Amino acid sequence: MTIAARPWLDEIQAYRPGTRSASADGSMASNESPLGASPKLGDSIVKALAGVHRYPDPLADELRSELAGLHGVHPEQILIGNGSDELIFLLSTTFLAQGGHAVCADPAYQIDRIGALSVNATITQVPLRDWKHDLAAMAALRADIAYIVNPHNPTGTTRSRAEIDTFTAESPARLVVVDEAYIDFTTDPEALTAIPLVAGGRVAVLRTFSKIHGLAGLRVGYLVADSAIIAAIRKVRAPFSVGSLAQAAALAALADTGHREAVREHTLRLRGQLVDLLACHGLHAVDSEANFVLLPVPDENAFVAGLRTHGVSVRPGSALGAPGTVRISVPTEAGLELLRSALHHTHPANHRETANHR
Ligand SMILES: *Cc1c(COP(=O)(O)O)cnc(C)c1O
């Protein structure tokens, strides 16, 4: 016997996660932190272990007030989630369910799409222009939520705060959600972030501990928004979705600004080296401000398979809505050497370009 799922779910293809290679260094498919999490988390997690028989603090008050201080907002303007992905699903339930309409870029961040379709909303994807969000075209569409991913995934491109401000003024969208998962890897995160626009009431900003903080396995993200938006979402959230070990780790990670700076410095330096290495093989990545680059390639499947035989896993673009490309996360130093030797075997040509790029 098969039990039919709700009919609008037919449109959804299950999320396809990145695959790991045999080694951690060779795994470049999921934009994880190449330097790992802060080495100072251990003590906090061990301490929190003593309380795991109790339910966690439902709103993660300590973390919430730290983040409120950091961003200069009120704690009631912050909601912590089980990764920002949970918050995207909650935004869908709260503002899109049963016939709502979302607008986003094409390619979209896949969770924005799945979240909207899961609650029987429609979603309009607006093709990128020069690999960036086409905000003018997006602003012409009515929407309950307009999603802007900044820097974008899978391209790594950005739009300025002024551009997002103009978009918010011009767009009829009820709510503008700006996903800033990768903002720490931009040249000037403070100039770029849309958090100052939250005060206007229609902009909500998503952040995560999965990228620069290296806590992808613990699942912590947060939303900064008007307190009325947060209050509406709180009605439908699972009260204990963020575990106590995750809360303790996030607090400790937040305190380790030195580790964050080291991850940022590593990422910017290795991103440059990654782009140069690819160029040596005649491969030209889209200009990225994130911890990954998107690379248009003639044969996506052959490219992914070729690297895999040499111990390197990257993400096929068709899993990200961008066929004809691959996405490569900024690796460790050892990972870059793995990629160098893999490309030496799979893309041996272009010696002339090699000379030009030295
Ligand atoms: C990685 C990523 C996130 C983070 O998701 P979590 O659920 O917090 O791990 C959010 N948005 C985008 C666009 C991402 O690429």
Give, for all 358 residues of the chain, the pLDDT tens digit.
689 999 999 999 999 888 888 899 999 999 999 999 999 999 999 999 999 999 999 999 999 999 999 999 999 999 999 999 999 999 999 999 999 999 999 999 999 999 999 999 999 999 999 999 999 999 999 999 999 999 999 999 999 999 999 999 999 999 999 999 999 999 989 889 999 999 999 999 999 999 999 999 999 999 999 999 999 999 999 999 999 999 999 999 999 999 999 999 999 999 999 999 999 999 999 999 999 999 999 999 999 999 999 999 999 999 999 999 999 999 999 999 999 999 999 988 654 444 444 3
| 139 class by beta-carbon count within 10 Å (0-12 exposed, 13-18 middle, 19+ buried) | buried
Distance (angstroms) between ligand 1 centre and the Cα of 27 equals 17
Ligand 1 neighbourhood includes 210 CB (under 6 angstroms): yes
Residue 333 has φ and ψ, to the nearest 5°, of: -60, -45
Could you give the CA distance from residue 285 to residue 294 in angstroms, rounded to a whole number? 6
In the DSSP assignment, the letter for residue 285 is P
Peptide bond into 56 cis (omega under 30): no
Q: Closest Cα to atom 2, ligand 1: which residue?
A: 181
Q: What is the pLDDT of residue 349?
A: 64
Instruction: State the pLDDT at residue 20.
Output: 87
- Residue 57 has a pLDDT of 98
Contact 302, 271 (CB under 8 A): no
- 153 within ligand 1 shell (Cβ under 6 A): yes
> What pLDDT, on a 0 to 100 scale, did the predictor assign at position 355?
43
Closest CA to 174 of 200, 193, 192: 200
- Please name which of 212, 200, 234 lies closest in space to residue 75, comparing C-alpha atoms: 234
Sheet with strand 221-224: strands edge to edge: 78-81, 221-224, 203-208, 175-179, 145-149, 101-106, 122-127
Atom of ligand 1 nearest to the CA of 87: 7
> Nearest 10 degrees: CA dihedral of 269, 272, 273, 274?
120
Distance CA 218, CA 206 (A): 17
Output the CA 98–ligand 1 centroid distance in Å: 25
**Residue 338: phi, psi to the nearest 5?**
-60, -45
| CA of 149, closest atom in ligand 1 | 13
Nearest CA to ligand 1 atom 6: 83
Residue to mutate (ligand 1; options 85, 110, 147; most atoms within 8 A of CB): 85
pLDDT score, position 55: 98
